[in-house]
Amino acid sequence: MQFIYALEAPVTGTTTTTQRTAIVTGAARGIGAATAIRLARDGHAVAVLDLEEAWCAETVSAITSAGGRAIAVGVDVSSPEQVEAAVERVAMELGAPTLLVNNAGIIRDNLIFKMPVEDWDAVMNVHLRGAFLMTKAVQAHMTVEKYGRIVNLSSTSAQGNRGQVNYSAAKAGIQGFTKTLAIELGRFGVTANAVAPGFIATDMTRQTAKRMNISFEDFLAGAAEQIPVGRVGQPEDIANTISFLTSEEAGYVSGQVIYVAGGPQD
């Protein structure tokens, strides 16, 4: 048998992880909580951000009780003043943040003819304005450190989803935002990628089941039937992908949208 690829360097054993400071928004529960816990397991100090500091307690204690470092920070990601103060506090208490996961999100679903303008604005403010404000504040540290990993949460809904004209526009916007960050910040050692989950079992999808007036269990079973791998996603499925994208080894992956949906995306 002929090997066409040769190892250029000898395998020298396990890779070491530099401990960095990570910020995960919307990390009180769901995908954000799983991601914060995973990044702590990867060896990083983690700032757990959510609307109320008290809501972050469970995630923080899951990290600290396992020997990790974490702090809870209450912040509305759509407020410039609160974002500035939160990022400053993280830098003071944990060190310059060089990993950022823009995960905070809300849904305000409705068909367009019934959607109040407030619900359009609310969704844009959390997803797009929030990701913009957080990234603007954190990239100031990343560019000084000459290192950064940004991961933004998009969604399969970016490609269109009935009842989500606001959310799908925001999640498509996140993809353009991410690609532009990759172009602007690459020369500073900063990568930016988007993770676009399909159906993940969290309070957000529980809310959707409630709106559709079906039990969460039936909703999960129905969704699983449509998904090639035959199950719905768990928050850890997304956290695992984010773990890779925030690692040093992912330094040549930038400006990508990674669909994590249990099957291909049209």
How far is the C-alpha of 224 from the C-alpha of 229, rounded, in Å?
8
Comparison of 75 and 138: residue with beta carbon closer to ligand NAI = 75
Comparison of 42 and 50: residue with beta carbon closer to ligand NAI = 50
Shortest CB 85 distance to ligand NAI, Å: 13
Comparison of 143 and 161: residue with beta carbon closer to ligand NAI = 161
Shortest CB 69 distance to ligand NAI, Å: 21
Comparison of 26 and 68: residue with beta carbon closer to ligand NAI = 26
* Catalytic pick among 5, 147, 167, 259: 167
What would the two tokens of residue 69 be? 């470092």
How far is the C-alpha of 135 from the C-alpha of 153, rounded, in Å?
13
The residues of the shown chain that bind ligand NAI, judged by CB under 6 A, are 25-26, 28-32, 50-51, 75-78, 103-106, 126, 130, 153, 155, 197, 199-200, 202-205
* Position closest to ligand NAI via CB: 30
Short-list 136, 133, 155, CA closest to 77: 133
Shortest CB 141 distance to ligand NAI, Å: 19
Whether residue 5 lies in the annotated active site: no
Q: Angle formed by the axes of helices 130-145 and 80-94, to 10°?
A: 30
DSSP, collapsed to helix, strand or coil, labels residue 146 as: coil
User: How crowded is the C-beta side of 77, counted as CA atoms within 13 Å?
Assistant: 31
Q: Exposure pattern of 4-24 as b/e (b: 16+ CB <10 Å)?
A: eeeeeeeeeeeeeeeebbbbb
Shortest CB 244 distance to ligand NAI, Å: 17
Which positions are catalytic?
A: 167
